[in-house]
């Protein structure tokens, strides 16, 4: 074999070997990068799940806190007043010598009303209530609570076939709704709140509208005063849903929430 | 014995000794089987070296070894690959390769080198390694490659058999031209050493990960 032929064969063989080794290196590099990307994605998912868990716990605590506040107000403003009235009526009955049947009946009605209110309050203390109730049940209860204050008129409309949300998602959604309603009561100076709850095919859609003074969401967030708004944003993101806030000064506020069932 | 051959034999022995950990750590059956294959490799290489030293033809030994080696690889991958279509390829190889081997040996004789056997064996070894990578990619769990013995074993095979593909195919030609063989053999010995080092790491990484998980 001539020197040139020998060199040609040697170079070809070495080139083939190098090429194959480069190919092996590319395959390994691809595998490594692919696995690393999957690992990072998995980490992100885990972090999101962790945040979701934390937020649902936080939401649960906030709901409990709000429930306690509502109960204390209810006992003070409603049950307490009725029982005080019943006590006054009993005192009158005690001091009156003649048998006053209408007053006795009124006293009995008041005590019965106080008992019914207490039963209702005891029910709201039950932590399973939120879990067992649907989203629109929570909305009806909130509207009822608002209407009882007498300052704002709240109405709830439900459309579609009610479907169940995943419990933790439901908890977070209820907390978002409470936050929206609470903001409306506190800051909007509204006289009317209307809530539309639509059970759509893949998601639950809630629209909360008020006729209050409105605000500029961007300015509120930029000024750092929008803790409630930022909470809503974070929580909606964790549920995998979307939200849209439309509000202009003196034109009321409209909040749209869409939360997927799965 | 040339120094590179000595290093190579040492690498094979180290890989075998590392693989013994699979029995101590009670690893999966396929890793224990692989350890047995490494034991057979050590025996084959040592016997081949002795025969070579005594100037006795040792091709028959390598030919017999290949009959066990490549089906053993297929068996190894059969234990870790779950996809039906890929398993069918492995079963096909397990059934066909011995027939293919017997036909070629019958034609060329046991004492002669037949490049087609190792070329086909190498091709399928590379294919099996790629099939295993496919399993890693499609696995629902994210597997940590660093502590995965099968990954290092597959990687060793991929590098060696892909890198040696051209060499094995032209082995008869190369051996007839010592001036070409002298230059090339070192490269392939290095690849061989690398493969056995990766096998060793594959078994050792398991003991390292076990220690790490046991430490407080």
Tell me the DSSP string of A192-240.
EEEEEEEE-SSEEEEEEEE-S----HHHHHHTT--HHHHHHHHHHHHTT
pLDDT recorded at residue B156: 95
Backbone angles phi, psi at A71, to 5 degrees: -65, -45
Tell me which residue of A171, A254, A239, A247 sits closest to A207, measured CA to CA. Answer: A254
CATH of the domain at B164: 1.20.1070
Residue B127's contacts (CB-CB under 8 Å, 6 or more residues apart) are B89
Which pLDDT tens digit goes with each residue over B150-189? 999 999 999 999 988 888 877 777 777 777 777 788 888 8
Q: What are phi and psi for residue A70, nearest 5 degrees?
A: -65, -40
Q: A158 pairs with which residues across the strands?
A: A197
Q: Which residues contact A68 (CB under 8 A, 6 or more apart)?
A: none
Q: Who has greater pLDDT, B196 or A14?
A: B196
Has residue B142 been placed in a domain? yes
Q: Output B165 or A224, whichever has higher pLDDT.
A: B165
> Beta partners for A157?
A196
In a domain, B215, yes or no: no
pLDDT bracket for residue B101 (50, 70, 90): very high
- Write down the pLDDT at residue A129: 65
Phi, psi of A245 (to 5 degrees): -115, 120
Listed range (A35-44, A202-211, A222-231) with the worst mean pLDDT: A222-231
> Which DSSP state fits A239?
T
Q: Is A14 within 8 Å of B159 when comparing Cβ atoms?
A: no
DSSP state of B114: -
B118-123 average pLDDT score: 92
User: Does any domain span residue A70?
Assistant: no
What is the model's pLDDT at position A80?
A: 85
Residue whose entry in the numeric block shows the structure tokens 């009993």: A90
Q: Say whether residue A17 is in contact with chain B using an 8 A CB cutoff.
A: yes
Strands A153-159, A192-199: pairing is parallel
What Rg value do the Cα atoms of chain A yield, rounded?
A: 32
Residue A126 near residue A67 (C-beta atoms within 8 A): no
Does some domain include residue B87? Answer: yes
Whole-model pTM?
0.68
Q: What is the pLDDT of residue A232?
A: 84
Residue found by looking up tokens 């070495």 in the block: A14
Residue B48 belongs to some domain of the structure: yes
Tokens read off for A61: 């605590």
The tokens describing A212, both together, are 């209050």
- Say yes or no for a CB contact (<8 Å) between B158 and A38: no
Residues B27-49, mean pLDDT to the nearest whole number? 90
Q: What pLDDT score was predicted for residue B108? A: 87
Report whether pLDDT(B107) > 50: yes
Domain holding A228, by residue range, is: 134-262
Give B166 to chain A, closest Cα distance, Å.
Answer: 6
CB proximity B36 to A under 8 Å: no
Residues in chain B: 216
Residue B13 has pLDDT above 90, yes or no: yes
Percent with pLDDT over 70 in chain A: 95
Residue B215 predicted with pLDDT over 60: no
pLDDT at B216: 47
Q: Which residue has the higher pLDDT, B29 or B127?
A: B127
pLDDT grade for A29, boundaries at 50, 70 and 90: very high
Residue B20 lies in domain: 3-205
Of the listed ranges A5-14, A119-128, A217-226, the one predicted with least confidence: A119-128
Identify whether the C-beta of residue A190 lies closer than 8 Å to the C-beta of residue A184.
yes
pLDDT at A130 over 70: no
Give A127's pLDDT tier (boundaries 50, 70, 90).
low
Least confident of A34-43, A76-85, A220-229: A220-229
Quote the mean pLDDT of chain A: 84
| Banded model confidence at residue A138, pLDDT cuts 50, 70, 90 | confident
Task: Indicate the burial class of B158 (C-beta count within 10 angstroms; 0-12, 13-18, 19 or more).
Answer: buried
| Residue B3 pLDDT | 82
In-domain check, residue B177: yes
- Using CA atoms, how far apart are residues A131 and A120, in angstroms rounded to an integer? 17
- Inter-chain CB proximity A17 and B166 less than 8 Å: yes
Query: CA A137 to CA A158: how far, in whole Å?
Result: 10
Q: Which two tokens stand for residue A33?
A: 């990068």
Task: List the single residue in B with minimal CA-CA distance to A7.
Answer: B180
Give the CATH number for residue A194: 3.30.565.10
Query: Residue A75: pLDDT band by 50, 70, 90 thresholds?
Result: confident
Instruction: Tell me what pLDDT residue A1 has.
Output: 64
Report the share of chain B in percent with pLDDT over 90.
54
Q: How far apart are the CA of B132 and the nearest CA of chain A, in angstroms?
A: 11
Number of domains in chain A: 1
Domain count, chain B: 1
Per residue in A143-196, pLDDT (tens digit) is 887 887 778 899 999 999 888 888 878 888 888 888 888 888 888 888 899 999
> A26 falls in which pLDDT band (50, 70, 90)?
very high
Residue A68 lies in a domain: no
Q: Chain B: residue nearest A37 by CA? A: B142
A28 touches chain B (CB under 8 A): yes
Give residues with Cβ within 8 angstroms of A235, minimum separation 6: A55, A59, A172, A175, A176
Long-range Cβ contact pairs of A117-123 (< 8 A, separation 24 or more): A117/A74, A117/A78, A117/A79, A117/A82, A118/A79, A121/A71, A121/A74, A121/A75, A121/A79
pLDDT of B132 higher than 90: yes
A224: left (phi over 0), alpha (psi -120 to 50) or beta: left
């Amino acid at each position: 074999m001539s020197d040139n032929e020998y060199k040609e064969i040697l170079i070809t063989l070495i080139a083939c070997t190098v090429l194959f080794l480069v190919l092996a290196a590319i395959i390994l590099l691809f595998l490594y990068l692919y696995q690393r990307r999957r690992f990072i994605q998995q980490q992100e998912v885990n972090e999101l799940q962790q945040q979701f868990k934390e937020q649902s716990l936080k939401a649960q605590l906030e709901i409990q806190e709000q429930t306690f506040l509502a109960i204390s107000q209810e006992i003070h403003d409603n049950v307490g007043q009725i029982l005080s009235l019943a006590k006054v009526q009993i005192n009158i009955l005690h001091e009156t010598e003649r048998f006053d049947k209408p007053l006795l009946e009124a006293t009995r009605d008041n005590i019965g009303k106080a008992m019914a209110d207490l039963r209702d309050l005891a029910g709201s203390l039950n932590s399973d209530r939120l879990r067992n109730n649907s989203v629109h049940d929570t909305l009806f209860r909130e509207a009822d609570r608002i209407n009882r204050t007498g300052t704002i008129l709240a109405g709830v409309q439900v459309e579609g076939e009610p479907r169940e949300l995943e419990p933790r998602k439901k908890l977070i959604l209820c907390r978002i709704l409470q936050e929206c309603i609470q903001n409306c009561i506190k800051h909007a100076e509204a006289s009317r709140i209307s809530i539309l709850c639509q059970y759509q095919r893949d998601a639950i859609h809630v629209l909360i509208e008020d006729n209050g003074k409105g605000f500029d969401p961007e300015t509120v967030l930029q000024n750092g005063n929008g803790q409630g708004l930022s909470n809503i944003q974070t929580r909606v993101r964790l549920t995998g849903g979307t939200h849209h806030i439309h509000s202009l000064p003196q034109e009321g506020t409209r909040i749209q929430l869409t939360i997927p069932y799965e | 014995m040339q120094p590179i051959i000595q290093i190579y034999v040492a690498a094979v022995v180290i890989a075998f000794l590392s693989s013994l950990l699979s029995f101590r750590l009670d690893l999966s059956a396929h890793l224990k089987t692989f350890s047995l294959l490494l034991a057979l490799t050590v025996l084959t290489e040592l016997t081949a070296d002795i025969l070579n030293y005594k100037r006795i033809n040792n091709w028959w030994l390598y030919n017999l070894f290949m009959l066990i080696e490549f089906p053993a690889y297929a068996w190894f991958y059969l234990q870790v690959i779950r996809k039906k279509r890929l398993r069918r390829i492995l079963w096909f190889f397990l059934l066909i390769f011995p027939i293919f081997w017997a036909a070629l040996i019958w034609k060329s004789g046991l004492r002669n080198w037949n490049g087609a056997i190792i070329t086909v064996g190498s091709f399928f070894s590379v294919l099996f390694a790629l099939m295993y990578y496919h399993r890693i990619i499609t696995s629902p769990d994210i597997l940590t490659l660093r502590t995965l013995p099968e990954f290092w074993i597959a990687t060793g095979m991929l590098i060696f058999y892909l890198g040696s593909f051209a060499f094995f195919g032209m082995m008869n030609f190369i051996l007839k031209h010592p001036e070409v063989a002298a230059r090339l053999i070192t490269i392939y010995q290095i690849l061989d050493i690398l493969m056995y080092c990766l096998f060793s790491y594959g078994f050792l990484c398991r003991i390292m990960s076990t220690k790490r998980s046991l430490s407080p």
